[in-house]
Chains A and B, each alone.
Chain A
Amino acid sequence: MAEKIGKHIAIYGKGGIGKSTTTSNISAALAEAGYRVIQIGCDPKSDSTNTLRGNNYLPTVLDSLREGNKIHLDDISVKGFGGVLCIESGGPVPGVGCAGRGINAAVNLLQELNLFEEFKPDYVLYDVLGDVVCGGFAVPIRDGITDRAYVVSSSDFMALYAANNLFKAINKYAPTGGAKLGGVIANSMKPGYHREIVEDFVEKTGTSIAGYVNRSIDVQQSELYGKTVIEAKPNSAQADIYRNLAKYIAENENLVVPNPLGSAELRDWARNWGDRIYDIESGVVGVAEAI
């Protein structure tokens, strides 16, 4: 493969956890800092770049592929906030076909169209549907497409479970040139024990935290305007949180191969936390003591 143009970063996480919100704000923050950025939504939902392009219509790569006509980059991409190039891979109608293969085909097509040679990005962000449900969704971290992945997670068990699955996939592919892990983005952090749970999880899996993102009304409000926080509320504290996260991700070279927990291990770990949370909530112990 030719020398890669720009840094290629995959962002994973379970559905609804905040991947698209976080990725779009990172893209916006990087664009604001003067970088050339591409954001590729790799999720059949195809709403990854909504807030970068004011919810405007954008045909997906697979929609164009389905029609079978000759495809031009202009047909499937649009420039959003700060010149971020927005692309959505798209996917089949829910319940039919194979979305995993769709992601694969879309990524291949973008390479065939010389996307990176044409646009010359500094950063390419892939917003990927999260549980690594099959080989297709692991494509962005295989085959040297990206060399680093981040995972968005809250302190909810299912979100950490999805993160652990991603770790398994990285663990499998990293030795043959797949991506490594840059860290966990802890999203929707509320005060209390939530941070401790995620911190304990990264410690157990030999990974690290890339940044904490609070749960904030600014995020929801901006979303309703069809904008990122960076665009809608540039002076808010939340915008700074995203700017710091973007800076960290842009500069971080501490990439690791995680040690995922086994199924039983993960279950025991969760049960243990269940007991502790109960004690905390019922006021038996304070956070610090419980840990």
Chain B
Amino acid sequence: MANIIKNPRNGCALHGALQTVQEIQGVVPVVHANASCGVINYLANSKTSGGNPRFSGYSTPGTAAQERHVIFGGASRLREQIKNTVKVVDGSLYIILNSCESAMVGDDVDAMTREIVEQGEPVVDTLIAGFNGSAYYGYEHVLADIFKSVYELKKNEGEKNPRLVNIFGIIPQKDPYWQGNLEEITRILNGVGLETNIFFGADGGTEDIENARNAALSITFGRWGELPAKVLNEKFEIPVIQRAALPINADDERALIEGIEEYITIDQETKEHFLEKEQKYELNYWSRVRDEIIENDLGRTVAIVGEEEHVIRLGKLVQEVFGAEVVAAVLTDALKKDEEHTLDNGEVLNSIAKNIYKTSDQKDINDIIRQSKAELVIGSSLEQHVADKHGIPLVEASYPVYHKTILNHSSIGVRGIVGVIAEYITAVKQADKEKEEKLQNKLKEFKGQNVWQEHSYKKSHNVKQVGLVSQGAVRESI
């Protein structure tokens, strides 16, 4: 029988495709769907705090198909919409996105696209319907579809750039820190004389799409991105390297750069000089917090909820920096459509977490967190409720994040990771403080205030011992 999935955090393939192309400057999306497939995506994402791109929400061109278009076909409605869009909105690339509705009816979107392309407009269509998979599937497939057809439109080949690297796997809007992370990965590769094609955000755009064919290498971080990299490999023989996760420290950065060196020659002096500076930066901040780590006993048991790449990256971070133990890891991006991926991170995951689960059902996730007895959760805002209920701190780091604005902040590289370290410490300190305040308030309600004041200076870790010397009733209330 059918199961209810509570709060599934991954939108459909159309949503993934839409949020991907929305973040490529110069692209105008045209959504061929019943009214609201695009709006649902907007409503979900506009609550998160990464800002909104130009063509989002109600300003996204779309066909808003009605029952009439289901029965008689919606192709002519689409034709009308593309023609009007091209007239009204300037763009260097128009991308047609499909929904379940148009796929089920079997609208000949291809023919409509060809018609407009013959009139000289830069239009590509994608064959992704919402039901094909999750937003991750949409991200991969929309890029793959674009690379498959865009070079027929943009005849200008340009020149091979032996220092250019395509970056895949940092998913717009799905990674709450995507903007900052793209900037940080660019900073690192620039540091050793490389250039990046990041496609999305302030420094991306349709030129990156056009230039992707001239890159010397594609790198995929995490499991998502394999498909577009493969298309570029097949079409233009651009080699691909796959990394389980984005870098968190100078060692990771070295490993990344040395991986790249198998394909691109990097000046050794530049490299060593850069990595030395990275090391220094890392050491500076990591050692600054060592007293806090000991004083606050930060090596706690942790549950991590998020996509596989997040789990690997953040799990490794809390192990290395705080000596924490990851008692449960929940992979929220493990859906059935990932069969076609060759990257297998099983071993890495096992080295990071004691128990690994694959689900995006909030009910399961809450149960897992509860049963893990974790003292801290790294996850999304959807884990707030369960964290509050069990009085444990939450570090919001995976999609969706509602309670903080994240613009160009990064959560990777030696610079970005410092912010994550600070958040972890803040979350623990805050929670410990709240716990202590709560305890004090409770105690004030009872007689014998003097006794309790004396104890209140003690750390919240000692709370249970404080309780032991109290009357039975007080102990229970704690």
Interface residues of A (CB under 8 A from B): 62, 65-66, 68, 91-93, 96-99, 101-102, 105
Is B4 part of the binding interface, using a Cβ–Cβ cutoff of 8 Å?
no
| A97 to B71 CA separation, bound complex (whole angstroms) | 5
With A62-B72, A96-B73, A101-B71 given, can you name 11 additional A-B contacts, CB distance below 8 Å? A65-B68, A66-B68, A66-B72, A92-B72, A98-B70, A98-B71, A98-B105, A98-B106, A101-B67, A101-B70, A105-B71
CB neighbours of A96 from chain B (8 A): 72-73, 75, 105-108
Is B104 part of the binding interface, using a Cβ–Cβ cutoff of 8 Å?
yes
Q: Using CB atoms, name the residue of chain A closest to B108.
A: A96
CB neighbours of A98 from chain B (8 A): 70-71, 73, 104-106
| A204 to B70 CA separation, bound complex (whole angstroms) | 39
CB neighbours of A101 from chain B (8 A): 67, 70-71
| Contact, CB under 8 Å: B71 / A93 | no
| A46 to B105 CA separation, bound complex (whole angstroms) | 21
| A101 to B75 CA separation, bound complex (whole angstroms) | 17
CB neighbours of A93 from chain B (8 A): 72-73
- Give min CB distance, A26 to chain B, whole Å: 28
26 contacts between A and B (CB under 8 A): A62-B71, A65-B68, A66-B68, A66-B71, A68-B68, A92-B71, A92-B72, A93-B73, A96-B73, A96-B75, A96-B105, A96-B107, A96-B108, A97-B69, A97-B70, A97-B73, A97-B105, A98-B70, A98-B71, A98-B104, A98-B106, A99-B71, A101-B67, A101-B70, A102-B72, A105-B67
Contact flags B39-75 to A (C-beta < 8 A → 1, else 0): 0000000000000000000000000000111111101
Q: Using CB atoms, name the residue of chain A closest to B66.
A: A68
CB neighbours of B106 from chain A (8 A): 96, 98
- Give min CB distance, A149 to chain B, whole Å: 23
| A80 to B55 CA separation, bound complex (whole angstroms) | 55
- Give min CB distance, B71 to chain A, whole Å: 4
- Give min CB distance, B34 to chain A, whole Å: 12
Q: Using CB atoms, name the residue of chain A closest to B68.
A: A66
CB neighbours of B104 from chain A (8 A): 98
| Contact, CB under 8 Å: A97 / B72 | yes
- Give min CB distance, A157 to chain B, whole Å: 29
CB neighbours of A91 from chain B (8 A): 71
Enumerate B87-145 residues with CB–CB distance to A below 8 Å.
Answer: 104-108
Residue with the greatest number of chain A CB neighbours at <10 A, chosen from B69, B72, B75: B72
| A65 to B107 CA separation, bound complex (whole angstroms) | 19
| Contact, CB under 8 Å: B67 / A92 | no
Residue with the greatest number of chain A CB neighbours at <10 A, chosen from B67, B68, B71: B71
Q: Using CB atoms, name the residue of chain B closest to A103.
A: B71
| A102 to B73 CA separation, bound complex (whole angstroms) | 11
- Give min CB distance, B164 to chain A, whole Å: 44
| Contact, CB under 8 Å: A92 / B68 | no
CB neighbours of B67 from chain A (8 A): 101, 105
| A98 to B75 CA separation, bound complex (whole angstroms) | 12
- Give min CB distance, B103 to chain A, whole Å: 11
| A99 to B71 CA separation, bound complex (whole angstroms) | 6
| A93 to B105 CA separation, bound complex (whole angstroms) | 13
| A65 to B70 CA separation, bound complex (whole angstroms) | 12
Residue with the greatest number of chain B CB neighbours at <10 A, chosen from A65, A66, A68, A96: A96
CB neighbours of B73 from chain A (8 A): 92-93, 96-98
| A101 to B70 CA separation, bound complex (whole angstroms) | 7
| A128 to B282 CA separation, bound complex (whole angstroms) | 74
| A91 to B75 CA separation, bound complex (whole angstroms) | 16
CB neighbours of B69 from chain A (8 A): 97
Residue with the greatest number of chain B CB neighbours at <10 A, chosen from A65, A92, A98: A98
CB neighbours of B107 from chain A (8 A): 96
| A65 to B72 CA separation, bound complex (whole angstroms) | 10
Q: Using CB atoms, name the residue of chain A closest to B67.
A: A105
Q: Using CB atoms, name the residue of chain A closest to B104.
A: A98
- Give min CB distance, A76 to chain B, whole Å: 15
- Give min CB distance, A69 to chain B, whole Å: 12
- Give min CB distance, A122 to chain B, whole Å: 31
- Give min CB distance, B101 to chain A, whole Å: 9
- Give min CB distance, B238 to chain A, whole Å: 40
CB neighbours of B68 from chain A (8 A): 65-66, 68
CB neighbours of A99 from chain B (8 A): 71
Q: Using CB atoms, name the residue of chain B closest to A90.
A: B71
| A106 to B73 CA separation, bound complex (whole angstroms) | 16
Q: Using CB atoms, name the residue of chain B closest to A97.
A: B73
- Give min CB distance, A163 to chain B, whole Å: 27
CB neighbours of A62 from chain B (8 A): 71-72
- Give min CB distance, A225 to chain B, whole Å: 34
